[in-house]
Amino acid sequence: MQSETEIQPIAGLLILVLIVCLLIPTGRIPMGDDANRAVYHRRSLASFPNPTELRAEPEVYFRALQKWYADRVGFSIRSSLIRRSVSFHLFKDSPVPNVQIGKTGMLFLTAHGPVSDRLSIEHSCPATDRWPSLYEKTQADWRRIQTQFRAKELDPYLLIFPSKKVLYPDYLPRSVPIGLRERCEKTAGRDAPIAHLARAFPNHVLDAYPVLYPHKDKPHFYPPENFHADGEAAARGVEAMISLVTADGTPYETTEHFSVRESKSDLSYLLGFSLANQIRQIVRFDPAELNTIAAYEAAVQKILGEPVWAKRYQNEAALRDKKVMLITNSFGIRAAPYFARHFKHVDAVSTNRLTEPEQHDVFFRQLVFDAGYDHVVFILHDESVFKRRLGKFVSGLE
């Protein structure tokens, strides 16, 4: 006895004819270039379904055909950008599931993929029953990093920026459960894992939360449309770190004068359109005007075999004639120019694309240990620390 959904050959042929007829009006709608569409959607496009499935599993076939059609046939990418922008600005609705709008329009990255879960918030705000384990693991990881670096006559430092989820838990979207919101509030407490780590290594680990907190309510302090700390938030975290690194009595410029400047949100690439924002920037300072050595990034990428972000800054006007290496995640990309204000030579490398111990081993051996640095500073944010990024560094050192 045949299944109720099985399609006879003649019926299948008639359905295909009907599909072709329905597709005719779309002839003037542009078929997007697959490569460009994949980049735009930030994922692989759906494959065309196997025709043999039409008879065996017609429901599955048509669902797959619908996904293929939706990925390739429709308005142009430019039209989609306009639609996303209108949805965001007019209807106050995020066009993507992993960027959510909170209180007063503050944006929050809730997940690092195109999904609607809250993994990024959960990682930044661990439950209190995980704290004892995090105390032990983060301190053990940092102690092992210190041991390996000191064997090379280097003294490493660690700067940890708070994410917006932790600095502004009361601004989180209403869709975030109260329990998770309370976890974020507790993560900023004195007994939380990052504060605990900073107290265990007071001369080498800086929790930037207490530095940023007194200023957090200034307009555009931690750009509301950004994921990363930038402008004044980044500058103040860096200057506190510099006072720790150079505890030698050498004066450094305490930044007190800022002006608001136009910029571009670092979440624009996720939202699918260019979102303007404003940041509080140091008066008479423009990171884009710093002198950088373009060849450095290409050299680093060749050594590591990955398209990593890398910058070499040279600032002859800086007060300190020191050579500094910044080992960062994406938060360090925004912080690096503020180090370059104070040191004549600053190298910065984002290790986000380094996933294997062998890659970290090459990085440390060829780009850090024998390069003559006076200071080495790791720059991370809370989520990265809780996801054991320090442990990944250790795996490449031992």
The tens digit of pLDDT for each residue in 170-181 reads: 999 999 999 999
Distance of alpha carbon 71 from alpha carbon 280, whole angstroms: 40
pLDDT tens, residue by residue, 152-168: 999 999 999 999 999 99
| pLDDT tens digits for range 22-39 | 665 555 445 555 556 665
Instruction: Tell me the β-bridge partners of 349.
Output: 310, 327
| Residue that wins the pLDDT comparison between 365 and 62 | 365
Look at the block and give the residue holding tokens 């439950």: 127
Measure the CA–CA gap between 377 and 261, rounded to whole angstroms: 28
pLDDT in the model for residue 319: 85
Distance (Å, rounded) from C-alpha 160 to C-alpha 333?
Answer: 13
- Give the chain's largest Cα–Cα span: 90
Dist CA 199 CA 30 (whole Å): 59
User: Could you tell me which of 320, 314, 335, 338 has the C-alpha nearest to residue 379?
Assistant: 335
β-partners of residue 15 are none
Mean pLDDT of 9-14: 74
pTM, 2 dp: 0.83
Over residues 291-332, the pLDDT tens digits come to: 999 999 999 999 999 999 999 999 999 889 999 999 999 999
Quote the CA–CA distance of 107 and 305 in Å, as a whole number. 34
Please name which of 341, 343, 358 lies closest in space to residue 392, comparing C-alpha atoms.
Answer: 358
